Amino acid sequence: MNKPSLTVSASPHIHAKADTASIMWSVSLALAPATLWGIYAFGLRSLLVLGVSILGAMLSEYLLGRMSGESTLWDGSAFLTGLLVGVNMPPTIPLYIPVVASVFAIFVAKWTFGGLGANWVNPALAGRVFVFFSFTTPMSSYKLPRTIASIAPDALSSATPLSLTKTAIASGQLGLDTKALLAQGGYPATGFAQGISSLTGFSAYSVDTFLGNVGGCIGEVSALLLLVGGIYMLIRKIITWHVPLTYLGSVGLLSWVFGGLPSELGLFAGSFFPSIFSGGLMLGALFMATDYVTSPITRKGQIIFGLGCGFFTFLFRFFGSMPEAVSVSILLMNIVTPTIDRYIVPRKFGDTREYRKQLKEEKV
């Protein structure tokens, strides 16, 4: 008799394809184009930064896994955390800093809370913010990408467009919009961007930030390639539009409406697009704020979360002195997430408006 050995288990007996590991690896894949651009634009040293970030995260995960007897190394989440730490580092950073950030991310932000799924805040962001406040100077020294380095004045070599405009406004240059401030400060634009600018009317600066011809962290500069990754994740249904759209949209709108105020230009004088292309916003909105574990579980909650991130980012960017607007905003909203999930719950089937009315009438 050749009896098959049958499994008896609870329904359902079929399952959708996705699993945790495939999702984590897909997010890493989605981040690849923007990361590769960073390596090209800032040179091979960035690859080294990425390498030690990932290694730091994975080694930490391995050690903790050994200690707790679980093997979680290949679920992809530690790799992703390491990669996210890496892309959030300036290309010139001393190598021990990303290692510290990765180790902090995995040891403190992830495992002291109980490991994957139990952490309150996004580990990579926590790691980045931790090293930012510990090593502020190296964490805010940037390098220009090779595409504009040759045409830029030396003095600008470590400025980002955001920091440049901020300093200009702080030193009392009022009445100028972003474009004018950058032009005055001599921030370079590629010939290609100037060409597009004269064709379309978008400022050359917008075009360059969109493409990735600006200074910044390794993986954050090319809004275009980050969007490519984001769209890939949307198509693969790894993320939904709720967080990124509300986050980007609210920053864009608030910047457009109120962004002119620091320069005393009045309302509706800010700019929509450059504000969502610049800094770490695109990276944050697509890859950090969408982290499942630390964002709300319901779609409605995610919309609130996205709007909250957008509001704080705008606030910190324009009225605070904090250049880390995106990271800190997301961390703040991470902390609010359990509360959102407590109060924002889906409507239950059958709990219609008519039925509620009916119940009320019956009570009377």
Partner 1 sequence: MQKVPTFSKGGVHPHDQKGFSSAQSIERLPMPSELLISLSQHLGAPAKALKAKGDTVMRGEKIGSASGFISADVHSPVNGTIKEIRKVTLANSINCDAFVIVPDEDQDPEPTETFDWASQDPSALLAQVKDMGIVGLGGATFPAHVKLSIPSGKHVDAFVINGVECEPYLTADYRIMLEKGEEVLIGAMIGAKIIDAKRIIIGIEMNKIDCIEHLSAIAKEKGYPIEIIGLKVKYPQGDEKQLLKATINKEIPSGKLPLDIGAVVANVGTAHALYEAIVLHKSLYERVISVTGECIAQPKNILAPIGTKMSDLLAFCGGFSSEPEKLVSGGPMMGFSFFDENTPMSKGSSGLLALQAQKKKRNTPCINCGRCVAACPIGLMPSHLYRYITNGEYEEAMQHSLMDCKECGCCSYVCPAHLPLVHGMKTGKKLGRKKK
Query: Nearer Cβ to partner 1, position 45 or 236?
Result: 236
Query: Nearer Cβ to partner 1, position 7 or 171?
Result: 7
* Residue 220, phi then psi, degrees to nearest 5: -100, -10
Contact flag: residue 1 with partner 1 (CB under 8 A): no
Query: Nearer Cβ to partner 1, position 8 or 235?
Result: 8
Contact flag: residue 298 with partner 1 (CB under 8 A): yes
Site for partner 1 in 39-98 (CB under 8 A): 72, 75
Query: Nearer Cβ to partner 1, position 54 or 239?
Result: 239
Contact flag: residue 12 with partner 1 (CB under 8 A): yes
Contact flag: residue 120 with partner 1 (CB under 8 A): no
- Alpha-carbon 233 to chain mean position: 14
Q: 44: how many CB neighbours lie within 10 A of its CB?
A: 9
Question: Applying CB under 8 A, which of residues 199, 349, 360, 361 lies at the interface with partner 1?
Answer: 349
Question: Applying CB under 8 A, which of residues 1, 13, 199, 321 lies at the interface with partner 1?
Answer: 13
Helix, strand, coil percent content, the chain, rounded in steps of 5: 65, 0, 35
Contact flag: residue 25 with partner 1 (CB under 8 A): no
Q: How far is the CB of 226 from partner 1 (least distance, A)?
A: 21
- Rounded distance between C-alpha atoms, residue 146 and residue 41, angstroms: 5
Q: How far is the CB of 106 from partner 1 (least distance, A)?
A: 15
Contact flag: residue 360 with partner 1 (CB under 8 A): no
Question: Applying CB under 8 A, which of residues 95, 100, 113, 115 lies at the interface with partner 1?
Answer: 115
Query: Nearer Cβ to partner 1, position 167 or 352?
Result: 352
Q: How far is the CB of 295 from partner 1 (least distance, A)?
A: 8
Query: Nearer Cβ to partner 1, position 179 or 242?
Result: 242
Stretch that binds partner 1, among 21-29, 52-60, 84-92, 174-182 (CB under 8 A): 21-29
Contact flag: residue 118 with partner 1 (CB under 8 A): yes
Contact flag: residue 348 with partner 1 (CB under 8 A): yes
Contact flag: residue 335 with partner 1 (CB under 8 A): no
Query: Nearer Cβ to partner 1, position 4 or 201?
Result: 4
H, E, C per residue of the chain: CCCCCCCCCCCCCCCCCCCHHHHHHHHHHHHHHHHHHHHHHHCCHHHHHHHHHHHHHHHHHHHHHHHHCCCCHHHCHHHHHHHHHHHCCCCCCCCHHHHHHHHHHHHHHHHCCCCCCCCCCCHHHHHHHHHHHHCHHHHCCCCCCHHHHCCCCHHHCCCCHHHHHHHHHHCCCCCCCHHHHHHHHCCCCCHHHHHHHHHHCCCHHHHHHHHCCCCCCCCCCCHHHHHHHHHHHHHCCCCCCHHHHHHHHHHHHHHHHHCCHHHCCCCCCCCCHHHHHCCCHHHHHHHHCCCCCCCCCCHHHHHHHHHHHHHHHHHHHHHCCCCCHHHHHHHHHHHHHHHHHHHCCCCCCCCCHHHHHHHHHHHC
Contact flag: residue 4 with partner 1 (CB under 8 A): yes
Contact flag: residue 345 with partner 1 (CB under 8 A): yes
- Token digits of residue 250: 């609210």
- Rounded distance between C-alpha atoms, residue 109 and residue 127, angstroms: 8
Stretch that binds partner 1, among 6-14, 142-150, 187-195, 214-222 (CB under 8 A): 6-14
Count of residues that interact with partner 1, criterion CB under 8 A:
43
Question: Applying CB under 8 A, which of residues 292, 307, 311, 315 lies at the interface with partner 1?
Answer: 292
Contact flag: residue 108 with partner 1 (CB under 8 A): no
Give the binding site for partner 1 (CB under 8 A).
Answer: 4, 6-16, 18-23, 72, 75, 115-118, 292-299, 302, 341, 345-352, 355
